Amino acid sequence: MTRSVTREQIQDINNTLSTHATPGSLEGKSSTHTGQIVFFKAAISSIQANTIKKLPGVAAVTPDLMLEEKQPPPLSAPPSLTPRQTSPKDGSGSTLKNVRNPANVRLQTVAPTELKVISQPPGSVRAADLPGFAYASEAGRGVTIYVIDTGANAQNPEWKGMTGSKRFMYLPEAEETMTDGHKSGHGSCVSSKATGSLFGTAKDADIVMLKVPKELPWTSATLAALVDISDDVERKGIKGKAEWFNKLSDHPALFSYNTDLIVVGAVDNDGSRADYSQGTVEELTTSAPGDVMCASSTSLGWLKKSGTSFAVPAVVGVIAVWLSQDEYAAELQVPGKVAAKVKAKVKKYSYPRVEGGPPVIWNGIDPRELVCKSPKRPGGAGSGCRMTPDPPASARPPQPPKPQWSKKPQGFRRVFEQDGVIGRGYVERWNSSDFDIKDNIEQWCLDRCRGKCASVFLYRALQFSSWEYNESYICNTYHSKWSKKFVGSASKSADAGIAFK
């Protein structure tokens, strides 16, 4: 419906749809705040749709589409993206070089690279080489982020550890449980990228998960969710709203041409456009990394995901932090213009990380000069810097399963097995990663035992780096029969130790 629709026009539209729609298919979604129907859902033909969209009070008629679980890259080459006119032609972000850190900031030293990109200032080193993810200490406090998705894993430490308030809302037909209702775990990931303690960009913001049924067509579900959010905002007295969408092939993302919606694209960590990202430079407001680490929907750990929709919450979080900062209140909290002011700031604080790449969001914080243990003079940049704690080991993703070794492989016999030890006193040492060996590890090691070789010791080395496990296997060979003196306690993670002779 249009904003100016009258009750009489709504009744006329309802009467027309009742006449032409498939019996039993007509539904209307009302706002509890206004008491009026906001949109109708009905099974009608395209010819009938063309007739109805001409009726007074009708803003638009659109197909009710199902959510696509996977969106493969388009067959044609993606449109070329060039820096916005408001960005420097050399991609250096020179228009932002005078931005200074606020008095109080936080530094998350253990942070995935995609999070460091968000606080990567113009002219700095690679994001991976920055000391961490830096952000204003307000961290979104007092700002509410609404997520329209299929739920979230409320048992994951990312959700449980959120410092702001958190709650669920439900559309009709959605399962009213604080779980992620979809096998993809989409909602769990998105929520952790917004307000999660490890992966979020607005760590102290409030979050509301509006759970939709996974089998509901996405267009009507989104519209119904927006109506419920609008009603919730009015009930709670929340001020200042900015909304986002990421799919460019359908509305409402295309409305960004003439509205203040913020449309986000995806980039790699170096700032290059991701091959699955959609949209042209005119359609996109900004971009953020789309390959992310985030909360798992099925465990207490985390996992890696890719997609434009995982770039979106990082930008939403940046906006939430700005809205929570008193220094930006006069700039952003303008009645009736909050979304427009926020969108303008997002554009201003986005710059290409690589030449010819799309503008990528920057939160305005420079982590390079932060020395949290030795604060600068009172009132200076970084004087209130606080370190965020490292993630607990219990929050890590589960280790890759241990391999199963043979008892009597051809020509050998298993004589020893123990976790937590590494080989010593060997004649030769072989590392599977040096040879890019991924499969048949046991046979690969036994094949190293030649000539005077009488025994081997094989074990797995696990290194946790960049928020994932790097797995390699070490094979030691010996010229004498096996002895326990050939092993010692491991100084790093080692398991699945096995000896053959």
pLDDT in tens, 83-116: 333 333 334 455 788 888 898 999 998 899 999 9
Q: Dump pLDDT digits (tens) for 271-311.
A: 999 999 877 777 899 999 999 999 988 888 888 899 999 99
- 206 lies in the same domain as 224: yes
DSSP labels for 270-303?
TSPBPTT----TTT-SEEEE-EEEEE-SSSSSEE
What pLDDT sits at residue 89?
Answer: 37
Regarding whether 278 and 297 lie in a shared domain, the answer is yes
According to the model, what pLDDT value does residue 200 have? 96
Predicted confidence (pLDDT) per residue in 166-201, tens digit:
999 999 888 999 999 888 889 999 999 999 999 999
Mean of the pLDDT values across residues 381-408? 70
CA end-to-end span of the chain, whole Å?
A: 79
Which of 339, 363, 394 is a domain's end point? Answer: 394
What is the extent of the structural domain holding 419? 399-500
Predicted confidence at residue 468, as pLDDT, reads 74
Residues 344 and 429 in one domain: no
pLDDT value of position 466: 66
Proportion of the chain above pLDDT 90, given as a percent: 56
**Is residue 252 pLDDT above 70, yes or no?**
no
Residue 390: what pLDDT? 58
Q: What is the pLDDT of residue 376?
A: 44
pLDDT by residue (tens digit) across 347-359?
999 999 999 899 9
Which residues are 136's β-sheet partners?
105
Locate 54 and state its tokens: 């001409």
Say yes or no: 246 and 226 in one domain.
Answer: yes
In a domain, 70, yes or no: no
- Whether 70 has a pLDDT exceeding 70, the answer reads no
Does one domain contain both 173 and 227? yes
Domain end marker among 328, 363, 394: 394
Quick one: CA dihedral 72, 74, 80, 84, positive or negative? negative
Please tell me whether residues 260 and 376 are part of one structural domain: yes
Q: Name the CA radius of gyration of the chain, rounded.
A: 28
In a domain, 315, yes or no: yes
Q: What is the pLDDT averaged over residues 221-233?
A: 86
**Is residue 297 in some structural domain?**
yes
Q: Is residue 120 domain-shared with residue 101, that is, in the same domain?
A: yes
The label of the residue with tokens 């999070």 reads 115
Q: What is the number of domains present in the chain?
A: 3
Cβ atoms of residues 147 and 210 within 8 Å: yes
Name the nearest CA neighbour of 162 among 154, 170, 172, 151. Answer: 154
- Residue 223 has what pLDDT? 86
Q: Is the pLDDT of residue 72 over 50?
A: no
Residue 300's pLDDT is: 83
- Banded pLDDT at 395 (limits 50, 70, 90): low
Instruction: Please indicate, yes or no, whether residues 321 and 450 belong to a single structural domain of this protein.
Output: no
- Asked if residue 98 and residue 227 are part of one domain, the reply reads yes
Q: Is the CB of residue 248 less than 8 Å from the CB of residue 278?
A: yes
**Residue 83 placed within a domain:** no
Among 394, 422, 453, the domain-final residue is 394
pLDDT at residue 201, as a whole number: 97
For range 374-391, the mean pLDDT: 52
pLDDT at residue 493 in the model: 83
The answer as to whether 74 is a domain residue is no
Distance, in Å, from the CA atom of 404 to the CA atom of 147, rounded to the nearest integer, reads 43
Q: Provide the pLDDT for residue 244.
A: 44
Would 73 be classed as within a structural domain? no
Across 233-254, average pLDDT = 54
Q: What span, in angstroms and rounded, lies between the C-alpha atoms of 261 and 279? A: 14
Domain annotation covers residue 252: yes
Average model confidence (pLDDT) for the chain? 84
CA dist 251 and 219 (Å) reads 9
Q: Are residues 389 and 306 in the same domain?
A: yes
The model scores a pTM over 0.85: no
Asked whether residue 104 is assigned to any structural domain, the reply reads yes
DSSP per-residue string spanning 405-445: PPSS-TT--EEEEESSEEE-S-SEEEEGGGTT--S-HHHHH
H-type helices in 21-94, by residue range?
A: 46-52
Query: Based on the domain organization, do 390 and 406 belong to the same domain?
Result: no
CATH number at residue 178: 3.40.50.200
Instruction: State how far the Cα of 330 lies from the Cα of 402, in Å rounded to an integer.
Output: 57
**Pair 381, 442 in one domain:** no
